[in-house]
Structure 1
Amino acid sequence: MSDTNGTRRVVITGIGVVAPGGVGTKAYWEMLTAGRTATRTISSFDASQFRSRVAAECDFDPVAAGLSQLQIRKWDRTTQFAYTAAKEALADSGASGELDPARTGVMMGTACGMTISLDREYAVVSDEGRLWQVDDAHGVPYLYDYFVPSSMATEIAWLAEAEGPVGVVSTGCTSGIDVISHAVDLIRDGEADVMVAGAADAAISPITVACFDAIKATTPRNDEPETASRPFDRTRNGFALGEGSAVFVLEELSHARRRGAHVYAEVAGYASRCNAYSMTGLRSDGKEMAEAIRAALDHARIDASAIDYVNAHGSATKQNDRHETAAFKRSLRQHAYTTPISSIKSMIGHSLGAICSLEVAACALAVEHSLIPPTANLHEPDPECDLDYVPLVARELTVNTVLSVASGFGGFQSAIVVTKPGRAA
Structure 2
Amino acid sequence: MAGQRRVVITGIGVVAPGGIGREAFWDLITSGRTATRTISTFDPGQFRSRVAAEADFDPLAHGLTPRQARRMDRAAQFAAVCAAEALADSGLAVADLPPERTGVAIGSAVGCTTSLEREYAVVSDSGAQWLVDPAYAVPHLYDYLVPSSLAREVSWAVGAEGPATVVSTGCTSGIDAVGHGCELVREGSVDVVLAGASDAPISPITVACFDAIRATTPYNDDPEHASRPFDNTRRGFVLGEGAAVFVLEEYERARARGARVYAEVSGFASRCNAFHMTGLRPDGRELAAAVTGALDDARIAPTAVDYVNAHGSGTKQNDRHETAAVKTALGQHAYAVPVSSIKSMIGHSLGAIGSIEIAACALAIQRDTVPPTANLHVPDPECDLDYTPLTARELPVDTVLTVGSGFGGFQSAMVLTAAGSAR
Q: TM-score range by the shorter chain?
A: over 0.9
* In structure 1, distance between residues paired with 2:364 and 2:415: 13
Match of 1:17 in 2: 14
Instruction: Within 5 Å, give how 1:283-298 maps onto structure 2.
Output: 283-298=281-296
- Residue in structure 2 matching 1:174, options 164, 172, 175: 172
* Aligned-partner Cα distance in 2 for 1:223–1:185: 45
User: Residue by residue, what CA displacement relative to the aligned partner does 1:269-303 show, whole Å, maximum 9, x if unpaired?
Assistant: 01000000001101111111111111111111100
Q: Is residue 85 of structure 1 aligned with residue 82 of structure 2? A: yes
- 3-state DSSP of counterpart to 1:132: coil
Q: What one-letter code is carried by the residue in structure 2 that aligns with 1:272?
A: S
Question: Is the partner of 1:269 in helix, strand or coil?
Answer: strand
**Structure 1-normalised TM-score?**
0.99
Partner of residue 26, structure 2: 29
What is the distance in 2 between the residues matched to 1:274 and 1:6? 28
Which amino acid in the other structure matches residue 75 of structure 1?
M
Other-structure match for 1:234: 232
| TM-score normalised per structure 2 | 0.99
SS at match of 1:187: helix
Q: Are 2:91 and 1:94 equivalent residues in the alignment?
A: yes
Deviation track 1:375-401 (CA, whole Å, cap 9, x = no partner) reads 000001010000000000000010000
RMSD, matched Cα: 0.7
> How far has the Cα of 1:152 moved from its partner?
1.5
Hey, what does 1:155 align to over in structure 2?
Answer: 153
Secondary structure of the corresponding residue to residue 417 of structure 1: strand
The equivalent residue for 1:74 is 71
Equivalences for 1:350-369 in 2 at 5 Å? 350-369=348-367
* 1:201-350 matched pairs, under 5 angstroms: 201-350=199-348
SS at match of 2:10: strand
* Unaligned stretches of 5+ residues in structure 2: none
Please state whether the residue corresponding to 1:262 is helix, strand or coil: coil
Q: 1:60 aligns with which of 57, 62, 65?
A: 57
Look up the SS of the partner of 1:290 in the other structure.
helix
Q: Distance in 2 between matches of 1:215 and 1:285?
A: 22
In the TM superposition, what whole-angstrom CA distance separates every residue of 1:96-118 from its partner, at most 9, and x where no partner exists? 12121110011100000001100
In 2, Cα distance between equivalents of 1:243 and 1:305: 34
Measure, in 2, the Cα distance between the counterparts of 1:273 and 1:197. Answer: 20
- Compute the displacement of 1:257 (Å): 1.0
- Tell me the SS of whatever aligns to 2:130: coil
Q: How many pairs were matched up?
A: 422
1:133 deviation in Å?
1.7
User: How far apart are the structure 1 equivalents of 2:123 and 2:4?
Assistant: 52
Query: Which 4+ residue blocks in structure 1 deviate beyond 3 angstroms?
Result: none
Per the alignment, in what secondary structure is the counterpart of residue 121 of structure 2? helix
Stretches of structure 1 that go unaligned for 5 or more consecutive residues are none
Cross-structure match for 2:143: 145
Distance 2:178 2:234 in 1: 30
Identical columns (%): 68
- The question of 1:420 aligning with 2:408 is answered no
